[in-house]
């Protein structure tokens, strides 16, 4: 991940920057908003901005919106300055980082916006090893490659493998999720724009194509791209030039394109939502990643890898899966594929008290994650009895119960609870403060687990 720090690195913000660097982030720094905007226009690889609230955050957010940047922003300021925190969130910041910084909180923020830590490539099943052999064979070519597969199978992981095995391995690898960016902003994100191209474009900006020069550009969820923009992409593929928005001259680029999708592109062609000529241009080589249920030989090694990874990340000591747990994992359908398995192992590491993760723990966790589904469930759906027990309760009471029970299962660890609940740690802490003010018992951190 590449982070742009706006503010001085001499004080507490500098400590936060060093913590982020120790977690693997690459840092850029700018003293002012104006300098930061110049950096952003020239480098499309920035993934996150951390801005000192003293550096006119509101102006930064207005400028980002005017120039069509979609980068996440975290404000940083004094922990006891509630007014600054409220103003930062109101201005559009994604989160507020209290200073002096907390290492665990910074880790959680990085994880929430991380763009370059997909699951590891672990392959033991014959179906997957055969696919990797084919990927390695075509990696040295210059051909575009279409990577298909269900959501969560690891399409970006395979794309990175191809890049590392190619002649462009020393060049940049840029990944762009076409579905995550509004249609009105995607063209600038891909191709950049010239000064005056639209209201707010006060300077030239480079896009992802230019950032990936002499490297590889992965276009994830390509089927979600508007068909009019597909025509511009086709020209870039055919002629190796791009047109910045508002530009008068084509810009040559040397980029290898990898495209990924979980949709049937031929069906999209028939429906008129995907260009046929672009499909054939991309489909020089197709690599179909099998679903996890079709590669059972990968389940155990992937599960062990994730357990080891999250045990180290959360500093909870060594954990291991029993043979019974492995057998239970192999029985699951894993509709969410590798991503679902990863999340299940993260929960197992957090919520299992001992060193051994057993079959009974896996059963509880897969029920929590809605993985264990009866084969006849689609034919005879049954309501969950636990839902019925909530009828008649106020929404705020149900939310409080869910938050407190999740915190209890996480041994009082606020960061882990916020991750599972899908909310920011600041939002969680605000809710806990409110619950405590009204007399609720708040689980405290214990067993050496930090809050």
| CA trace torsion 81, 48, 43, 190 (10° rounding) | -130
**Nearest Cα residue to 106 out of 246, 222, 12:** 12
Contact assessment for residue 420 and residue 385, using Cβ atoms and an 8 Å cutoff: no
Q: Which helix (H) or strand (E) holds 424?
A: none
Nearest-angstrom CA–CA distance, 418 and 321: 25
pLDDT at position 426 is 66
Contact assessment for residue 223 and residue 263, using Cβ atoms and an 8 Å cutoff: yes
pLDDT at position 406 is 83
**Which sign does the torsion angle of CA 286, 287, 292, 296 carry?**
positive
- Packed helices 57-66 and 33-42: angle between N→C axes, nearest 10 degrees: 30
pLDDT at position 278 is 95
Q: Which helix (H) or strand (E) holds 374?
A: none
Q: Which backbone phi and psi does 428 adopt, to 5 degrees?
A: -65, -45
Indicate the pairing of strand 251-252 with strand 241-242. Answer: antiparallel
User: In order of start, what are the domains of the chain with their CATH numbers?
Assistant: 2-113 (3.40.50.2300), 126-290 (3.40.50.300), 296-368 (1.10.8.60), 385-437 (1.10.10.60)
- Packed helices 183-191 and 227-239: angle between N→C axes, nearest 10 degrees: 10
**Nearest Cα residue to 50 out of 118, 104, 2:** 2
Cβ-count burial of 267 within 10 angstroms (0-12 exposed, 13-18 middle, 19+ buried)? exposed
- Look-up of token digits 């982020």: 20
Nearest-angstrom CA–CA distance, 211 and 39: 13
Nearest-angstrom CA–CA distance, 323 and 158: 29
Contact assessment for residue 187 and residue 232, using Cβ atoms and an 8 Å cutoff: yes
Q: Which backbone phi and psi does 313 adopt, to 5 degrees?
A: -60, -40
pLDDT at position 386 is 52
**Nearest Cα residue to 63 out of 188, 176, 199:** 199
- Look-up of token digits 């592109």: 265
Nearest-angstrom CA–CA distance, 33 and 90: 18
pLDDT at position 446 is 44
Q: Which helix (H) or strand (E) holds 39?
A: helix 33-42
User: What does pLDDT average to in each consecutive run of 10 residues of the chain (451 residues)?
Assistant: 91 89 87 94 88 93 90 89 86 88 74 54 93 95 93 91 94 89 87 89 90 94 91 93 91 95 92 94 93 95 92 84 94 88 86 88 60 36 50 78 82 71 74 84 55 42
């Amino acid at each position: 991940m590449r982070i742009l720090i706006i503010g001085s690195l001499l004080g507490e913000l500098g400590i936060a920057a060093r913590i982020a660097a120790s977690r693997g982030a690459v840092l850029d720094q700018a003293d002012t908003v104006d300098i930061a905007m110049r950096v952003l226009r020239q480098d499309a690889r920035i993934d996150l901005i951390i801005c000192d609230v003293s550096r006119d955050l509101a102006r930064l957010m207005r400028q980002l919106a005017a120039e069509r940047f979609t980068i996440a922003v975290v404000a940083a300021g004094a922990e006891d300055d509630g007014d600054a925190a409220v103003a930062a969130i109101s201005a559009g910041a994604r989160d507020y980082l209290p200073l002096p910084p907390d290492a665990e909180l910074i880790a959680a923020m990085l994880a929430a916006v991380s763009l370059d830590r997909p699951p590891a490539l672990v392959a033991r099943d014959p179906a997957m090893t055969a696919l990797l052999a084919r990927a390695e064979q075509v990696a040295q070519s210059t051909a575009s490659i279409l990577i298909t597969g269900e959501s969560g199978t690891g399409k970006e992981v395979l794309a990175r493998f191809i890049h590392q095995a190619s002649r462009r391995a020393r060049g940049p690898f840029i990944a762009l999720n076409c579905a995550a960016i509004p249609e009105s902003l995607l063209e600038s994100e891909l191709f950049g724009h010239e000064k005056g191209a639209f209201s707010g474009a006060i300077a030239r900006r480079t896009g992802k194509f230019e950032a990936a020069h002499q490297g590889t550009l992965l276009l994830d969820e390509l089927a979600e791209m508007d068909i009019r923009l597909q025509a511009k992409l086709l020209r870039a593929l055919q002629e190796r030039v791009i047109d910045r928005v508002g530009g008068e001259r084509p810009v040559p680029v040397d980029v290898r394109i990898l495209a990924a999708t979980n949709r049937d592109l031929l069906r999209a062609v028939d429906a008129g939502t995907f260009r046929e000529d672009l499909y054939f241009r991309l489909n020089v080589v197709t690599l179909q990643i099998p679903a996890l249920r079709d590669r059972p030989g990968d389940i155990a090694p992937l599960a062990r890898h994730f357990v080891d990874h999250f045990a180290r990340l959360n500093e909870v000591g060594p954990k291991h899966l029993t043979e019974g747990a492995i057998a239970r994992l192999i029985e699951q359908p894993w509709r969410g594929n590798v991503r679902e398995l990863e999340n299940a192992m993260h929960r197992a590491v957090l919520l299992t008290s001992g060193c051994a993760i057993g079959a009974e723990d896996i059963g509880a966790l897969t029920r929590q994650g809605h993985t264990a589904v009866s084969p006849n469930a689609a034919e005879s759906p049954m309501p969950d009895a636990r839902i019925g027990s909530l009828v008649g309760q106020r929404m705020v009471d149900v939310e409080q119960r869910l938050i407190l029970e999740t915190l209890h299962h996480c041994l009082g660890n606020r960061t882990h609870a916020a991750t599972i609940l899908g909310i920011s740690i600041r939002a969680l802490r605000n809710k806990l403060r409110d619950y405590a003010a009204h007399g609720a018992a708040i689980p405290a951190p214990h067993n050496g687990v930090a809050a």
